[in-house]
């Protein structure tokens, strides 16, 4: 046995990322009696399922709602509903009910990640910098100098970030895989969280997607039922976000607030801006995950594989767990 890894850093499966894909995969693997550690560079669980507080105002500033088409994911959501992690927000916006439930986290989106992470060993503020091949599996290094040994590795960051980790560890991809993964592209999104001094003019249920202009989405978190005071989330469209990415964020945030004046109806007391560099994949892969090596398993998953939404990330997580379990049996 290699003694350079402390026992708590030796696992069957090391998962990079505590977004939906990583958490769903971890639950499946742990249920199959595999030891699992998740590492995430963030302070909070959930990745793009993100919520923030400004004073007593609460915002969902990443994913806004969850939809489901797949029976397996629907079952997971229903279990979560029973456990109080999600609740129905609405069945459509702008008075157009289409019969499809939009779920929201309870009390906010990060609750979904917290629910999924129950019983898992998720270690936060651990930025992975390289993944290398090692005897009987892989070694994974973090920025803080920690090293892990794993019989299998699952990578769930946005694909360009995953490729950088493989590159840093000297793991080469064949031409077909490099081309396949290199074709996955993401939109950016500049998000503004604004606290209002009174109610907004957005009609119930509090979500609206303008069909023209620079704003793609505007939501009233109070009407959504997650904030105790008026709190607006604004998502800029992909073109505006790209063009203004390097501009001063306070100035860009104010411009977005100005675009939304017709829906605000009250003064902005304070605001914060967050940039999502990898917001949603615009080109999604044809498979539900990418298998770099079947055994020992090295697999890539996330919303870039099974659909650019929370459900896609979950389905990719299910798929990656199956591939990893099969690969571990062979090894």
Q: Exposed, middle or buried by CB within 10 Å (0-12, 13-18, 19+), for 121?
A: middle
Interface with ligand FAD (CB under 6 A), residue from 34, 62, 137, 306: 62
Closest to ligand FAD by CB, 283 vs 331, is 283
Does 205 bind ligand FAD (CB under 6 A)? Our answer is: no
CB closer to ligand FAD out of 222 and 311: 311
Residue 136 beta carbon to ligand FAD: minimum distance, rounded to whole angstroms: 23
Per-residue binding string, ligand FAD, 272-291, x by CB under 6 A, is: ----x--xx-----------
Stretch in the footprint of ligand FAD (CB under 6 A) among 26-34, 56-64, 71-79, 197-205: 56-64
Segment interacting with ligand FAD (CB under 6 A) among 1-9, 42-50, 174-182, 250-258: 42-50
Question: Applying CB under 6 A, what is the total number of residues that bind ligand FAD?
Answer: 39
Using rule CB under 6 A, residue 252 touches ligand FAD: no
Residue from 152, 191, 219, 315 touching ligand FAD (CB under 6 A): that is 191
H/E segment holding residue 202: none
* Shortest Å distance, C-beta 197 to ligand FAD: 25
Contact at 8 Å (CB) between 134 and 169? Answer: no
Q: 196 near 267, Cβ under 8 Å?
A: yes
Q: Say whether residue 66 binds ligand FAD (CB under 6 A).
A: yes
Nearer to ligand FAD by Cβ, of 88 and 197: the residue is: 88
* Alpha-carbon 271 to chain mean position: 23
Least distance in angstroms from the C-beta of 212 to ligand FAD: 19
Least Å from the CB of residue 278 to ligand FAD? 7
Which contiguous run of DSSP H or E holds residue 304? helix 303-306
Residues with Cβ within 8 Å of 293's Cβ and at least 6 positions away in sequence, in order, are 327
| H helices, E strands: number in the chain | 11, 17
Please tell me whether the peptide bond between 304 and the residue prior to it is cis, using omega within 30 degrees of 0.
Answer: no
Considering only CA atoms, which of 177, 240, 219 is closest in space to residue 62? 219
Binding mask 221-240 for ligand FAD (x = CB under 6 A): --------------x-----
User: How many whole angstroms separate alpha carbon 147 and alpha carbon 144?
Assistant: 9
Phi, psi of 116 (to 5 degrees): -65, -30
User: Based on C-alpha coordinates, what's the Rg of the chain?
Assistant: 20
Continuous H helices in 203-248? 221-224, 238-243
Nearest distance in Å: CB 67, ligand FAD: 6
- Which parts of this chain interact with ligand FAD (CB under 6 A)? 16-22, 39-42, 47-49, 62-66, 127-128, 156-158, 161, 165, 189, 191, 235, 276, 279-280, 302-303, 308-310, 312-313
């Amino acid at each position: 046995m290699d003694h350079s890894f402390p026992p708590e850093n030796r696992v069957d499966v090391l998962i990079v990322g505590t977004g939906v894909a990583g958490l769903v995969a971890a639950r499946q693997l742990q249920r199959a009696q595999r030891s699992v550690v998740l590492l995430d560079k963030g302070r909070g669980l959930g990745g793009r399922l993100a919520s923030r507080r400004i004073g007593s105002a609460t915002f969902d500033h990443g994913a806004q709602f969850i939809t489901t088409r797949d029976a397996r994911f629907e079952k997971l959501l229903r279990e979560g509903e029973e456990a109080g992690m999600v609740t129905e927000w609405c069945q459509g916006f702008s008075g157009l009910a289409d019969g499809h439930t939009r779920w929201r986290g309870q009390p906010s989106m990060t609750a979904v990640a917290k629910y999924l992470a129950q019983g898992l060993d998720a270690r936060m503020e651990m930025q992975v910098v390289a993944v290398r091949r090692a005897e009987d599996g892989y070694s994974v290094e973090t920025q803080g100098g920690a090293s892990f040994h794993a019989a299998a590795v699952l990578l769930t960051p946005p694909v360009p970030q995953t490729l950088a980790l493989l590159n840093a560890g000297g793991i080469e991809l064949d031409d077909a895989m490099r081309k396949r993964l290199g074709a996955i592209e993401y939109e950016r999104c500049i998000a503004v969280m604004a606290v209002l001094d009174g109610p907004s003019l957005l009609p119930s249920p509090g979500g609206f997607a303008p069909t023209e202009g620079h704003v793609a989405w505007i939501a009233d978190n109070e009407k959504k039922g997650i904030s105790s005071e008026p709190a607006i989330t604004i998502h800029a469209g992909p073109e505006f976000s790209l063009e203004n990415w390097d501009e001063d964020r306070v100035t860009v945030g104010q411009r977005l607030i100005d675009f939304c004046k017709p829906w605000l109806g009250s003064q902005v007391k304070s605001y914060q801006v967050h940039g999502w560099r990898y917001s949603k994949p615009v080109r999604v892969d044809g498979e539900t995950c990418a298998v770099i090596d079947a055994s020992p398993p090295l697999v890539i998953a996330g919303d870039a594989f099974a659909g650019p939404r929370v459900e896609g990330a979950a389905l990719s997580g299910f798929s990656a767990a199956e591939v990893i379990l099969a690969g571990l049996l062979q090894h």
